[in-house]
Chains A and B, each alone.
Chain A
Amino acid sequence: GENVGLHLPTLSVQEGDNSIINCAYSNSASDYFIWYKQESGKGPQFIIDIRSNMDKRQGQRVTVLLNKTVKHLSLQIAATQPGDSAVYFCAENLAGGADGLTFGKGTHLIIQP
């Protein structure tokens, strides 16, 4: 049968530039959101999280923005470096967190030297 792979969106940016990765989540009852980074051959690695009572949270070189009205999440990475090249996933957790995380399909970020 047909074997069609998942075509991940790809974002290519120049080293040193800022990047923005977007994610639309599915469940309006979700109240906890996480961004993960996955490098080839490794498990997803936590980057930053945000709860639904906030609309912005900043970390080191990263900022997450949450728009609950349109169920949209974004990850901004400042001054990108070659090591930022990876697949980035957003994940949502239902209110109360009883269920496991539901992951988006991922975005492949490529940092051009």
Chain B
Amino acid sequence: DAGVIQSPRHEVTEMGQEVTLRCKPISGHNSLFWYRQTMMRGLELLIYFNNNVPIDDSGMPEDRFSAKMPNASFSTLKIQPSEPRDSAVYFCASTLGPGTEAFFGQGTRLTVV
């Protein structure tokens, strides 16, 4: 298996633009997580899905952030409109289920100018 695949690896966008980050979890994994990593706050859980259903989005910073998982093999994290403070590395991770090891993608480095 290729592991968790994220795209793009790098994204530079202007303030106010919409940004969509993509994730393909490991086949057969039932849970998917979106994390954000910054120097200020470290790794923060934004939202997670079990069997494509959003379970907890309390970590999503604002209404500008939204995430979807239309099927078991694809998820998106959208920021609209983007702001400079959204600049961070966004990671997607997947697991077989609760209480199991999370496998991380390589991340998307987002820069909002």
Contact = CB atoms under 8 A, between A and B. Distances in A.
Nearest to B32: A100
Given A5-B39, A89-B43, A100 B56 contact: yes
Interface string A80-113: 0000000001010100111111111110000000
A9 B40 CA distance: 14
Interface residues on B, range: 20 to 34
A44 interface: yes
A43 B98 contact: no
Q: How large is the interface on A (under 10, 10 to 19, 20 to 34, 35 or more residues)?
A: 20 to 34
A97 B42 contact: no
Contacts of B106: 41-43
Per CB-CB distance, the 8 closest pairs between chain A and chain B, nearest first, are: A97-B98, A97-B99, A43-B104, A5-B39, A103-B43, A100-B45, A100-B48, A100-B33
